[in-house]
Amino acid sequence: MIVEQRTYTLKPDHTPAQFIAVYEQLGLTLQVAHLGNLIGYFMSDIGVLKQIVFLWGYSDLNDRAGRRASLAAEPGWEAYLNKVRPMLAAMESRVLIPAPSSPLR
């Protein structure tokens, strides 16, 4: 199993609540349908602010690539992206491998 951590940093004139509202209205259902294993999504409260962090589980990198390609082909996905792109200052993606004693293994 691998976990993808996707971090979105918002521009100063946007709030996490605005981003989450659009995500829950237009993006969440599509992502869960295509990507499957949503471990959770979180808002930063201490440290770097105005960040939304998503954790997605995949069996391996090929599983991730296939699921993300399926999502990209989804007709409603571009409409969602057009709504959230203006809110974003930065995006980051990293793949995490659970440690041997991790409960997620």
- Would you kindly state where each structural domain of the chain is located, as residue ranges? 2-96
CB 35 within 8 A of CB 57: no
> Which helix (H) or strand (E) element contains residue 40?
strand 37-43
In angstroms, the CA 32 to CA 84 distance is 17
Is 99:10 a contact under the CB 8 Å cutoff? no
Query: pLDDT tens digit string along 30-68?
Result: 999 999 999 999 999 999 999 999 999 999 999 999 999
Token digits of residue 20: 């989450």
**66-86 mean pLDDT:** 96
CATH architecture of 2-96: 2-Layer Sandwich (3.30)
pLDDT above 80 for 105:
no
With vertex at residue 32, the alpha carbon angle to CA 14 and CA 83, rounded to the nearest 5 degrees, is 30
Tokens 């391996």 found at: 60
Q: What's residue 87's pLDDT?
A: 98
